[in-house]
Amino acid sequence: MMPEIDGISLCRKIRAANFSEYIYIILLTAKNQKSEIIEGLEAGADDYIIKPFHPEELLARIRSGRRVIDLEDKNREAQSKSMQAEKLVSIGQLAAGIAHEIKISFYLHSIEDTLDDAQCVLDISGTDLIMDHRPYPLLIHWNRQYPHTFFVQFFSQCRCGQAFFFN
């Protein structure tokens, strides 16, 4: 008998405390009725040994509990690494998006400089690049697998009368 509190009450308190680390509980007791075993396991015990017990059995059950705890630790570590990897992917996607926007802006300015026509306005919308050149607006569908430099080459050749189309 434990002083002040019984094993089942202790199990309930430990489980209610929600510790950050899992606590593996083995009840070692003289209570041997099926209803008492069920009550102990439902209170949060992971294992239940009835007195009298064999010391080797207790050691084997402790080793078994250690394996469970080790698996819990590995699982928690894998989840942590997975969350970190997801965060890094998100940061990478954000950085790629920002770099993409910077490149778009740079190449649009390059195209405008190449054309150096005061009446030419460039606008990007989704996958379409719109060159509003009075009196004939031009809509170009851009396949994003090509680098932005294709636009500079395309518009440079347009100015020289050697336009080509790609998709």
Tokens (6 digits) for 142? 């851009």
CA triplet 154, 157, 160: central angle to 5 degrees? 155
pLDDT tens digits, one per residue of 80-122: 999 998 988 888 888 887 877 777 666 666 555 555 544 444 4
Q: Among residues 58, 44, 46, 38, which one has the least CA distance to residue 9? A: 44
CB 4 within 8 A of CB 23: no
Give the gyration radius of the chain's Cα atoms. 35
CB 19 within 8 A of CB 44: no
On whether the pTM is more than 0.85, the answer is no
Distance of CA 97 to the CA centre of its chain: 18
Domain ranges of the chain: 7-79
**CATH H-level, domain 7-79: superfamily:** Response regulator (3.40.50.2300)
* pLDDT tens-digit profile, the chain (167 residues): 778 898 999 999 999 998 888 899 999 999 989 999 999 999 999 999 999 999 999 999 999 999 999 998 999 899 999 999 898 888 888 888 787 777 766 666 655 555 554 444 444 444 445 555 544 444 444 555 555 555 555 555 554 444 444 43
CB 65 within 8 A of CB 43: no
